[in-house]
Amino acid sequence: MLWLLPSPLAAQQLLDRVVARVDGSAITLTDVRAAVALGVLDLPPEAGEDAAAERLIDRQLVLVEVARFTPPEPPPADVAREAAAMTARVGEGVAALMQRTGLDEGRVREIARDTLRIQAYLNQRYGTASQLTEDEVLQYYRIHPEDFTRENRLAPFAEAEPLARRRAAAERRAAAVAQLLRDLRGRAEIVMSRRSAVGGRQ
Amino acid sequence: MTDRATGVVRGALCVLTCAAAASAQTPLVTDIRVEQEGQATVDPVIDGLIETVVGQPLSMRAVRETITHLTSLNRYEDVQVLQEPAGAGIRLRYVLVPLHPVDRLELRGMLGLPDAEVRRVVTERFGAAPPAGRAGEVAEALLALYRDRGYPAARVMPRVEETHNPDRATLALQIESGPRATIGRLDIDELDAADRRLAPADIGIRPGDAYDNTAILQALDRYVASLRGRGFYETRAVHTAVFEPNGTATVRVTVDRGPSVTVAFAGDPLPEDERERLVPVRAEGSADEDLLEDADLAIEDYLKARGYRDAAVGHTRAERDGMLTITFTVSRGTRFLIESVTVAGNAAVPAPELLRLAPIQRGQPFVQAAAGRAAAAMRDLYRSRGFTRAAVQGSAVVIPAAPGGAGGAGGDRQVAVRLTVAEGPRTLVGAVAFEGHTVLTNAQLHALMTTAAGRPYSEVDVAAARDRIDVEYRNRGYESVVVEPDVTLADNDTRADIRFAIAEGPQVIVDHVIIIGNTRTSIGTIERELLLRSGEPLGYAARLESQQRLAALGLFRRVTIDELPHAGESRRDILVQVEEAPPTTIGYGGGVEGGTRLRPTGEGGQAEERFEVAPRGFFEIGRRNLWGKNRAVNLFGRVSLRSRDVVLSDSGVRLDRPAPESRYGFNEYRVLATYREPKIFSTPADVLVTGILDQAIRSSFNFITREARAEAGVRIGPRYSLAGRYSFEHTRLFDERFTESEKPLIDRIFPQVRISKFSVSAIRDTRNDLIDPDRGAAFILDRELAARVVGSEVGFTRTFLQGFGVYRLPARRRIVLALAARLGAAHGFRRVVARIGPDGRPIAGPDGTPIVDVVEDLLPASERFFAGGDTTVRGFSLDRLGTAATISSTGFPTGGNGLVVLNAELRTSLVGSLGAAVFVDGGNVFLRATDFDFGQLRGAAGAGLRYRSPVGPIRIDLGFKLDRRELAPGRLERRSVLHISLGQAF
């Protein structure tokens, strides 16, 4: 989080820059940092800003797709709840984050709304666990016995079925989303800025 | 919102508010510098997009927005913002890293393959200038190409080389093709043991040849095609290749010849010429089971469409000694013909109205699917009228055969088709309500409805209403609006309450309008046409119309308007990209005009109709977008090589006869210079100033006109336009064919006439095409007033009313009915004119005072109405029409103050671009408008051919007079007149 507290005495300091262009739209360094801080991107803890930038590109591509298909508008209360959850992730550093990245309340709400719309779109397109057949759930149970083994005892399928259904659905959805992203990336013009050292001071 | 969520949000807002306190520590911006490639740059467009302000604290939001705006220009790959100490605050440096789009593709090294072939592969997949980011994909595609063409060791190394001023890049592909492999070994596997041994020559692939995958595929295709031509429809041939370390390729070809296929038919006969289409074994080169099952169904459908309701088709395969015989057994059964079609159970809709929807009639073959379509169409009609549960059931009752008879010709049976309607209750709309709306009021939403309480309920109406609400919101910038109609049926389905749930979503506002690509056109000219403005909603219709208006300026080759999202969806930059058209336009062309005209012949100079051909050409040069304000100047010149008639003396003796009858020369020309000032004084009106020099050959006189004209026109919506003009013209007549006795009353008083006049035109035009419409109507009113008080030598008023209608008739072929009516009426103001002697001086009376004539209701010849010719009444030569009062004793028309022309034409397409027309025309010219008499209208009928060329229809019409009269004493009019021209007659 050192980048949040630059020294005012620094001779020259990078404030922001274009990290990537997705079909002409810019993704900036502050976009990446704000998304990471707000927990918008599903990133492993050790992921750097380059990985975050890639995820933000994916998010931008999906958002363009969302705009094409217009899923149901999320209720304002849900948007407010999502925005609150995002700022809660930052904790006391919210004010500094806002100042450093140029975010404001409206923009946080927009990001929250985007997140909910993406979720609604993916649910609409790839369905939920209930759409899996019994055979598919059973197959997942057989392939992943470790998921259902507790204290060296494999739970019977009847007992493990709800968990197996959730896991199988999540696996299928992840695969479908990954394929979607590959397709979207194939169709889009993505230009990563060649000065690829994202962030850092000069 | 739940209490918990509200509490969390409030907490977050507090945190956000606290950020304001932190801003007190933000540094002050004391300087802003924009740099590009190490140099400070000054560009008004860029300066206008920078949101940070000197003298104010640093705002990261402004920094972000600036980056977004600058990126929107599509000129920069990166925009870096740096801060450094400067004075009491900081200096912001915007470092712009320009994009270097690839505009060239260079192939270097040892290509091995032709340069054009390599480029073609790249261009087909990636375009002529592949994006730099896809250089790797380009290299992979070329590696695949080289491998296919026998270069397994080829290397392709892409490299993007940037150039500056302008910022561009070259995609350089360094290619080392390496050696080309030859076919070292060819193995042929024949899956069918009964096959004879194939030799390489049989399949056209020889060891020792250079390896080429495409050539091998072509050879195998030829081999397969040759076998299929001999009935081996299931032949398959594939190959694999392995590149060996020694530089050769081992090719293995696998051939499965399959059996020789014969298709046979059994049972009821099928027409010979339909068998290939219904059973496309030969065309598809396949005898697989799916295709055969499809063929069964196709034959059944074919027979059922002809009334064989119970047709059944099956096929069998019999393979023996390498021969496969496929036999289709056709059982078509009895043919059923429709004896009657009746409707039952209908109360709300009369049977004739329902039967009009049914595509089935008595005497036709009975087709179950057609009866089903009839039932569906009837059901849809009922549902559109509120019968939500309406159902229509079709049944066909076979009428028993007459005793001793076979039931009809050739064993046909008759069926009575009965369509039974179960109407169910009629549903009326009970209430229409809305929820979730905050932008539009209930009244506004109700105004958008296509349905209302008390009207029949229709799903179609509800869907249309939903679409209208949706569009209205989108036009106000709510692009993610979702409108969901919910219909609740009540009171035994007799009432439908409709509720539209509206999720408005955020309103999208235009942030910046960025205009790029214009070098000569001023920003103001472009902005004037844009309906999208900073701070206003980004409306769907406004965007479309802006694009249309910019394109309509005619200044640009290409116009695109893109939305660029930034910082969320609620604000967008609008990027207007234009590509300017060349400012100077030059046009030229030539052609031939043919038509029948009146010519003076014989010693008396009497009129005779004669077909003449006149070569003509034009040249045009224009300069548009003067001073960047869309002003334009244009110079147009047209000249025709046409004969000029001889001049008669007072006694009718020819004075000039250099040629046997007339002399050819550039006797007809027109020079026209225009200046256009659009949107004058910021009004919607365009002003056109025109200068004209015009010499024309007419039937009864020739004239030369010099005219200056100023015109202001304005379009009022897409259909209406209004124009007002002032013109000052001077006309000189020459080669008049009026007799001396006619002159005093006609053009002796206007030998050199100066006309100053005002005129207005009002047009309503709904035609769908200006050149060759097939739908719509146009009404044009022209009114002119010339008066001596404004400098005219003669005073008159003139009204010309034109109406045109075109209607496409309901037929499969394009048949258009075109109608036209043109009415003209003019009145000359009273005037006293001195009588002029042959010497050109006024003639004095016995008392020495000049003798004068009182002239009333006469117009100069150039202002009178004439008719006859290819655009008016086509059985007559140009201007030939007239009553006894408007035709001279030698047969030449003198024009009149009243005109009627009526036309009806039926146009149809024939083959390709060729069409035909038949027409009836009628009309006449009257000395005075009050002389109009239906009994004196002259008619013509005829036919013509049309050829739809890129410049409009080329037209040949042959018109016949319905009543043939004397053209001049002792000389009958020609029966027919031929016209060749461009464009429709009216």
Class of domain B586-982: mainly beta
Residues 6+ positions from B942 with CB-CB distance below 8 Å: B874, B875, B918, B919, B957, B958, B959, B960, B976
Phi, psi (5° rounding) for residue B167?
-75, 105
B14 touches chain A (CB under 8 A): no
DSSP state for residue B57 in the 8-state scheme: B
Q: Does B19 contact A99 at a Cβ distance shorter than 8 Å?
A: yes
Q: Kindly provide the b/e burial profile for residues B400-416, where b requires at least 16 CB atoms within 10 angstroms of the residue's own CB.
A: eeeeeeebbeeebbbbb
Q: Which residue in A17, A56, A107 has the most chain B C-beta atoms within 10 A of its own C-beta, making it the best mutation to test that interface?
A: A17
CA distance A87 to chain B (A): 6
Q: Which residue in A18, A86, A195 has the most chain B C-beta atoms within 10 A of its own C-beta, making it the best mutation to test that interface?
A: A18
A95 touches chain B (CB under 8 A): yes
Name the CATH topology of B260-331.
Answer: Ubiquitin-like (UB roll) (3.10.20)
B586-982 and B25-98 share a CATH fold? no
Mean pLDDT for B711-736 is 87
Of A13, A73, A192, the CB nearest to B505: A73
d(CA B615, CA B639): 9
Q: Does B78 contact A11 at a Cβ distance shorter than 8 Å?
A: no
Q: In sequence order, what are the beta bridge partners of B236? A: B256
Q: Does B12 contact A108 at a Cβ distance shorter than 8 Å?
A: yes
Tokens coding B465: 């209403």
* Tens-place pLDDT, residues B15-68: 444 444 444 468 899 999 999 888 898 888 888 889 999 999 999 989 998 998
Q: Does A76 contact B84 at a Cβ distance shorter than 8 Å?
A: no
pLDDT in the model for residue B569: 56
Which chain A residues in 18-37 lie under 8 Å from chain B, judged by CB atoms?
A: 18, 21, 24-26, 28, 30-31
Q: In sequence order, what are the beta bridge partners of B754? A: B730
Q: Which range (A100-109, A131-140, B4-13, B605-614) has the least confidence?
A: B4-13
Which chain A residues in 115-134 lie under 8 Å from chain B, judged by CB atoms?
A: none
Give alpha helix (H) positions in B162-271: 200-203, 213-229
Q: Which range (A190-199, B138-147, B172-181, B257-266) has the least confidence?
A: A190-199
B597 has a pLDDT exceeding 50:
yes
* Tens-place pLDDT, residues B506-536: 899 998 888 888 888 888 889 989 999 999 9
Q: For domain B182-256, which CATH number applies: 2.120.10.80, 3.40.50.2030, 3.10.20.310, 3.20.20.240?
A: 3.10.20.310
Q: Which residue in B80, B91, B573 has the most chain A C-beta atoms within 10 A of its own C-beta, making it the best mutation to test that interface?
A: B80
Q: For domain B336-378+397-402+409-422, which CATH number applies: 3.10.20.310, 3.90.980.10, 2.40.10.220, 1.10.3720.10?
A: 3.10.20.310
pLDDT class for B145, splitting at 50, 70, 90?
very high
Name the CATH topology of B25-98.
Answer: Ubiquitin-like (UB roll) (3.10.20)
Mean pLDDT for B823-852 is 81
Mean pLDDT for B119-143 is 87
* Strand duo B236-243 + B248-256: pairing: antiparallel
B770 has a pLDDT exceeding 50:
yes
CA distance A117 to chain B (A): 11
CB contacts, 8 Å: B62 with chain A: 102
A12 touches chain B (CB under 8 A): yes
Residue A16: closest C-alpha in chain B: B81
A185 touches chain B (CB under 8 A): no
A70 touches chain B (CB under 8 A): yes
Burial class (CB in 10 A: 0-12, 13-18, 19+), B682: exposed
pLDDT class for B467, splitting at 50, 70, 90?
very high
Q: Does B12 contact A83 at a Cβ distance shorter than 8 Å?
A: yes
Look up the ipTM and state it: 0.84
d(CA B445, CA B465): 9
A11 touches chain B (CB under 8 A): yes
Q: In chain B, where are the structural domains located?
A: 25-98, 103-176, 182-256, 260-331, 336-378+397-402+409-422, 428-503, 509-581, 586-982
Q: Kindly provide the b/e burial profile for residues B155-174, where b requires at least 16 CB atoms within 10 angstroms of the residue's own CB.
A: bbebebeeeeeebbbbbbbe
Q: Are A106 and B570 in contact (CB under 8 A)?
A: yes
Residues 6+ positions from B311 with CB-CB distance below 8 Å: B299, B300, B303, B304, B330, B331, B332, B333
DSSP state for residue B464 in the 8-state scheme: H
Of B13, B78, B480, the CB nearest to A18: B78
Q: Give the containing element (helix H, strand E) for B810.
A: none
Share of chain B above pLDDT 90, in %: 47
Tokens coding B784: 């002119």
B896 has a pLDDT exceeding 80:
yes
d(CA A131, CA B614): 79
Q: Give the containing element (helix H, strand E) for B391.
A: strand B391-398
Residue B84: closest C-alpha in chain A: A12
Please give the domain boundaries of chain A with CATH numbers for all domains.
16-192 (1.10.4030.10)
Q: Does B505 contact A106 at a Cβ distance shorter than 8 Å?
A: no
* Tens-place pLDDT, residues A123-181: 888 876 557 888 889 999 999 988 899 888 889 988 999 899 889 988 888 899 999 99
Q: Mean pLDDT in chain B?
A: 86
Closest CA to B327 of B270, B253, B283, B262: B262
CATH architecture of B428-503: Roll (3.10)
Superfamily of domain B103-176: membrane protein fhac (3.10.20.310)
Share of chain A above pLDDT 70, in %: 89
Which chain B residues in 473-512 lie under 8 Å from chain A, judged by CB atoms?
A: 479-482, 503-506
pLDDT in the model for residue B286: 80
The domain B509-581: what is its CATH number?
3.10.20.310
Q: How far is CA A166 from CA A123, A124, B417, B842, in A?
A: 14, 17, 56, 113
Tokens coding B664: 């050819």
A7 touches chain B (CB under 8 A): no
d(CA B825, CA B900): 9
pLDDT in the model for residue B700: 66
Residue B74: closest C-alpha in chain A: A24
Q: Which range (A171-180, B118-127, B599-608, B609-618) has the least confidence?
A: B599-608
pLDDT in the model for residue B18: 45
Residue A202: closest C-alpha in chain B: B82
Q: Are B455 and B466 in contact (CB under 8 A)?
A: no
Q: Does A84 contact B12 at a Cβ distance shorter than 8 Å?
A: yes
Q: Which residue in A15, A60, A117 has the most chain B C-beta atoms within 10 A of its own C-beta, making it the best mutation to test that interface?
A: A15
pLDDT class for B92, splitting at 50, 70, 90?
very high
Of B78, B85, B92, the CB nearest to A11: B85
In chain B, the largest separation of any two C-alpha atoms, in whole Å, equals 130
B407 has a pLDDT exceeding 80:
no
User: Within 10 A of B448 (CB to CB), how many other CB atoms are there?
Assistant: 17
A89 touches chain B (CB under 8 A): no
CB pairs under 8 A between A and B: 171
A202 has a pLDDT exceeding 80:
no
Please tell me the pTM assigned to this model.
Answer: 0.60
Residues 6+ positions from B818 with CB-CB distance below 8 Å: B804, B805, B806, B807, B903, B904, B905, B906, B907, B984, B986
d(CA B918, CA B815): 11
Q: Does A102 contact B80 at a Cβ distance shorter than 8 Å?
A: no
B28 touches chain A (CB under 8 A): no
Mean pLDDT for B343-369 is 89
B16 touches chain A (CB under 8 A): yes
Tokens coding B607: 């009129």
